[in-house]
Amino acid sequence: MAEATGLRWSHVGLNCSDLDRTEEFYRTWFGFERARVVDLGDDRIVFLRKGPAYLELFHSTSAAAPAAGADGPQQPGTIRHLAFQTDDIDGFLAKAEGVLPFSLGPLEFDDFIEGWKTVWVTDPDGVVVEVSQGYQDAGSTA
User: Is residue 142 one of the residues assigned to a domain?
Assistant: no
Query: Can you give the pTM of this predicted structure?
Result: 0.67
User: Is residue 99 one of the residues assigned to a domain?
Assistant: yes
Q: Which domain holds residue 30?
A: 8-64+74-133
CATH of the domain at 34: 3.10.180.10
Q: How many domains does the chain have?
A: 1
User: Is residue 43 one of the residues assigned to a domain?
Assistant: yes
Dihedral (Cα; 46, 51, 53, 56), 10-degree rounding: 0
pLDDT, tens only, 11-65: 988 888 889 989 988 999 788 999 999 999 989 999 999 899 899 999 887 766 6
User: Is residue 141 one of the residues assigned to a domain?
Assistant: no
Q: Exposed (0-12), middle (13-18) or buried (19+): which is 49, by Cβ within 10 Å?
A: middle
